[in-house]
Amino acid sequence: MDFAFSEEQEMLRRSARDFLAKECSSKVVRKLMEGPDAYDPTLWRKIADLGWTALGIPEEYGGVGTFLDLVVVFEEAGRALLPGPFFATMGLAVPVLIEAGSEAQKKEVLGAIAQGSARATLAFTEPSGRWDAGAVTLTATPNAGGWQLNGVKLFVPDAEAADYIVVAARTRGKGEEGISLFLVKGRLKGMTVTSLKTLDMTRRWSEVRFDGVKLEADSLLGPADKAWPHLKRALDWATAALCAEMIGGTQKVLETSTEYAKARHQFGKPIGIYQAVSHKLADMLVLSESGRSATYYAAWAVDADAPDRSLAASMAKAYVSDAYRKVAGDGIQVHGGIGFTWEHDMHLYFKRAKSSEVTLGDATYHRELVAQSLDL
Amino acid sequence: MDFELSETEKAFRDEVRAWLKANKPPANGADEGQKGFIESRRAWQKKLYDAGYVGITWPKEYGGRGAGFMEQLIVNDEMILAQAPDPINVIGLGMGGPVVISHGTEEQKKRYLAPLLSAEEIWCQGFSEPNAGSDLSGLQTRAEDKGDHYLVNGQKVWTTLAHVAKWCMLVTRERKEANPRDGLTYLIVDMQSPGIEVRPLVQITGDAEFNEIFFKDVKVPKSQILGEAGNGWAVAMTTLLHERGTLGMALATRAQITAAELAEHARNLGRGSDPLVRQKVAQYTIEARALQLNGYRAVTAVKRSGIPGPEGSILKLMWSELNQRMTETAVDMAGPAGQVGDGDGWVYQFLRSRANTIEAGSSEVLRNILAERVLGLPRSR
């Protein structure tokens, strides 16, 4: 057993941290979050040139490295609050394509993503906001040798910047039976993408509406009616990736708050000397470290395709959802008034924690999945 | 990153599993009593020792197995799986042995380690005093230099196993210094020495699991010093690092067992349809797993650096607070019936868990350690 990243992965981490400190500073994050779609083609090109958009993609489609390598980058991306479609593309769309795509689809889309010439996302949730199979109600019906899509996808991450949208649709039945996936390229007739005003400005959500959108037969991604097992496996990847981002943010909040507690003086002493403050920081450390352990294990389980990969992902998401929100909230408290200002970065993390909390299922949802695994 | 066992490790796991299946003693009877409990656990440790399953990481020449942390983890995990009882010499195995290995002379290692492993000699820990709990440096038990020996006078408290122990790890004050951490001397004291009196202390569970020890003009030969005279603080800190590190791993595995037992309790009571119960039991299961994974990460770090770091404090802090919540939920799930009789064994555990956040470093002290030594915040004292 060896529960640590390799020397090469630690090097990747250092280079990612240095790059993001320079290219994705708080100033850049703020500029992007106030822009129309938080997507910066120049930054994306640089990221692609570093090879990040190829990580975890199989070599035959132009990829390089493993999912664990990608996890290292996600952790750093979360630490820097990297805005734009990196998570939507590499965390959500790529695993679905790997799990369910045909040779032709993988060659085209994974190849383009790996090269840095395309971005993608997954349209799963609907107005219910749920992440279970039963929540998929957008319909796809056979039409003139192809398909026709009708329905609404809501809270779709970074859809505005996506060249490809993978859509989870219902082709019959209910629950896990009758779910099919479709690959939608560009903006088709009858399709409207509307950006939502979101609490977390660094991660865009959109409404994607399909009103009789016609698709060719070859847009079906994976088996008709029986795509759920593939999608479920892709969601394990997505969940571990999101947890890595979240733990990167958690760590950053902990470090910033600790430094502040050392520097800020009140009553003639650094506030970190007072146990009301230092014990809060100690608790933040426990949450951060435990969330990290749960996340790294989930990442390994996905990478190694361990039998407990879904359970490990649920455990990590349940723990980290609560941990990031708590740590970010306490981070504001440790900073006092300055932590509540727009100028300070603490609110950006607090907001990212909240949006990540509900993405891919909140703690309550994942605890219920864990309870089911205990035969409760 | 790799969680798979190697072929050699798998073979070792299978060997331990088969041995435990063939040799595990029956569960302790409720009427076994204190004395029966001690003797059955002592016999169990001897059996484990003869098979080579205690002192896994200790050097071979002193009776250990000379193996690595992985083998220790495998044995821990298999002991849990088999629901095997703990060996009797918990204090000696977790702290006494490791500290002798770190600070002892060759002669001391030869003398103490093998009988500790075989449970022939039980160890206890004489650190806390009525006026020195979390602030260990405030201890007042005196060791007066009498040339070839010390004369020890004072009192220790909360001493687990003192009534059956052969040796006590005793921290004494030899000299008063400006810094209270200086001038301490760490002794290994024979509990059969004249002048030692052990009195049982009854706990909130109604049991007398620990004791007070009174020292009146107890002669301790200077050959019993561990480390250097006057440098007892460093030796005591090594002891506590092991307490929170090595013991931390054992606690991580225990948390997993308790969480599994709690889930079983919920199923037996038919409480599985209650969404709040489902959420709580799942949350504890997740925390117990996170605790274990923290331990695995710490083990990987120890493999690289050799000694347990202050991160071990995280394990103990998490376990103690988690254990209190788990045992309380177990009692609560049964309603009033949970407080009648032994409540399916949970009443004892519920009460006993209140000590978890006090013993072996209170949660307050552990948070100080994390704040100061891991986060580098200024010292509050």
Interacting residues of B24 by C-beta distance below 8 A, sequence separation 6+: B82, B84
**CB spacing of B281 vs A376 below 8 angstroms:** yes
pLDDT score for B29: 47
**CB spacing of A272 vs B263 below 8 angstroms:** no
Delimit the CATH 1.20.140.10 region(s) of chain B.
235-374
Task: Give the DSSP letter of residue B87.
Answer: P
Summarised one tens digit per residue, pLDDT across range B70-92 is 898 899 888 877 878 889 998 99
Q: Min CA distance, B210 vs chain A (Å)?
A: 30
B374 touches chain A (CB under 8 A): yes
**CB spacing of B378 vs A297 below 8 angstroms:** no
Q: Min CA distance, A199 vs chain B (Å)?
A: 27
pLDDT score for A315: 98
B373 touches chain A (CB under 8 A): no
3-state DSSP call for residue B260?
helix
CATH superfamily assigned to domain B7-117? Acyl-CoA dehydrogenase/oxidase, N-terminal domain (1.10.540.10)
Q: Which CATH architecture has domain A7-84+108-117?
A: Orthogonal Bundle (1.10)
User: What phi and psi values does residue B269 have, to the nearest 5 degrees?
Assistant: -85, -5
**Per-residue confidence at B139, pLDDT binned at 50, 70, 90?**
very high
pLDDT score for B309: 66
Q: Which of B211, B103, B215 is nearest to B165 (CA)?
A: B211
Give yes or no for a contact between A208 and A160, defined as CB atoms under 8 angstroms apart. Answer: no
| Closest by Cβ to B3, choosing from A258, A294, A300 | A300
CA distances from A237 to A115, A232, A326 (A): 21, 9, 24
Which conformational region is residue A243 in: left (phi greater than 0), alpha (psi within -120 to 50 degrees), or beta? alpha
B261 touches chain A (CB under 8 A): no
Summarised one tens digit per residue, pLDDT across range B11-48 is 999 999 999 999 988 665 444 566 778 899 999 999 99
- Per-residue pLDDT tens, chain A, 376 aa: give them: 788 899 999 999 999 999 999 999 999 999 999 988 789 999 999 999 999 999 999 999 999 999 999 999 999 999 999 999 999 999 999 999 999 999 999 999 999 999 999 999 999 999 999 999 999 999 999 999 999 999 999 999 999 999 999 999 999 999 999 999 999 999 999 999 999 999 999 999 999 999 999 999 999 999 999 999 999 999 999 999 999 999 999 999 999 999 999 999 999 999 999 999 999 999 999 999 999 999 999 999 999 999 999 999 999 999 999 999 999 999 999 999 999 999 999 999 999 999 999 999 999 999 999 999 999 9
**CB spacing of B296 vs A1 below 8 angstroms:** yes
Q: CATH assignment of A232-373, given 3.10.105.10, 1.20.140.10, 1.10.10.10, 3.40.50.10320? A: 1.20.140.10
CA distances from A73 to A42, A146, A203, B99 (A): 18, 39, 17, 41
Show the tokens assigned to A115: 């090269």
Please give the residue of chain A at the shortest CA–CA distance from B286: A315
**CB spacing of A318 vs B5 below 8 angstroms:** no
pTM, full prediction: 0.93
Q: What is the CATH number of domain B235-374?
A: 1.20.140.10
Q: Min CA distance, A298 vs chain B (Å)?
A: 11
Give yes or no for a contact between B185 and B176, defined as CB atoms under 8 angstroms apart. Answer: no
B196 touches chain A (CB under 8 A): no
Give yes or no for a contact between A149 and A210, defined as CB atoms under 8 angstroms apart. Answer: yes
A-B contacts at Cβ under 8 angstroms? 160
Summarised one tens digit per residue, pLDDT across range A329-348 is 999 999 999 999 999 999 99
Show the tokens assigned to B78: 């298999």
Q: Report d(CA B60, CA A374) in Å as an integer.
A: 41
Summarised one tens digit per residue, pLDDT across range A260-292 is 999 999 999 999 999 999 999 999 999 999 999
- In angstroms, how far is the first alpha carbon of chain B from the final one? 40
Task: Give the DSSP letter of residue A196.
Answer: -
Which residues are A150's β-sheet partners?
A139, A211
Over the Cα atoms of chain A, what is R_g? 21
Please compute, for residue A33, the number of CA atoms within 13 A of its CA located in the half-sphere on the CB side.
22
Q: Which one is catalytic: B129, B174, B243, B287?
A: B243
**CB spacing of A2 vs B299 below 8 angstroms:** no
Interacting residues of B232 by C-beta distance below 8 A, sequence separation 6+: B171, B172, B174, B184, B185, B186
CATH topology of domain A122-221: Butyryl-CoA Dehydrogenase, subunit A; domain 2 (2.40.110)
Please give the residue of chain B at the shortest CA–CA distance from A373: B282
Give yes or no for a contact between A264 and A274, defined as CB atoms under 8 angstroms apart. Answer: no
Show the tokens assigned to A92: 């959500």
| Element at B345 (helix H, strand E) | none
Average pLDDT, chain B: 91
Residues in chain B: 381
Delimit the CATH 1.10.540.10 region(s) of chain A.
7-84+108-117
Give yes or no for a contact between B327 and B259, defined as CB atoms under 8 angstroms apart. Answer: no
Residues in chain A: 376
CATH superfamily assigned to domain B123-230? Butyryl-CoA Dehydrogenase, subunit A, domain 2 (2.40.110.10)
3-state DSSP call for residue B168?
strand
Give yes or no for a contact between B213 and B126, defined as CB atoms under 8 angstroms apart. Answer: yes
In chain B, which ranges are continuous DSSP H helix?
A: 7-23, 33-51, 69-81, 90-91, 97-103, 106-117, 232-268, 275-305, 312-333, 346-352, 363-369
Residues of A in contact with B309 (CB under 8 A): none
Delimit the CATH 1.10.540.10 region(s) of chain B.
7-117
Residue B243 among the catalytic residues: yes
User: CA torsion sign, A152 to A157 to A161 to A165?
Assistant: negative
| Closest by Cβ to B290, choosing from A274, A290, A304 | A290
3-state DSSP call for residue B176?
coil
Please give the residue of chain B at the shortest CA–CA distance from A322: B283
Q: How many CB atoms lie within 10 A of CB B186?
A: 29
pLDDT score for B28: 52
Give yes or no for a contact between B297 and B346, defined as CB atoms under 8 angstroms apart. Answer: no
Summarised one tens digit per residue, pLDDT across range B251-307 is 888 898 899 999 999 999 999 999 999 999 999 999 999 999 998 888 787 777 766
Show the tokens assigned to B356: 């978890």
Show the tokens assigned to B183: 């001038």
Delimit the CATH 2.40.110.10 region(s) of chain A.
122-221
CA distances from A11 to A176, A189, A298, B268, B301 (A): 41, 46, 21, 51, 18
The distance of Cα B135 from the centroid of its chain, to the nearest Å, equals 19
B299 touches chain A (CB under 8 A): yes
**CB spacing of A290 vs B294 below 8 angstroms:** yes
Q: Min CA distance, B10 vs chain A (Å)?
A: 12
Over the Cα atoms of chain B, what is R_g? 21
Q: Min CA distance, A33 vs chain B (Å)?
A: 32
Q: Report d(CA B42, CA B58) in Å as an integer.
A: 20
User: CA torsion sign, B221 to B227 to B233 to B239?
Assistant: negative
pLDDT score for B30: 45
What percent of chain B has pLDDT above 90?
A: 72
Summarised one tens digit per residue, pLDDT across range B209-228 is 889 999 999 999 999 999 99
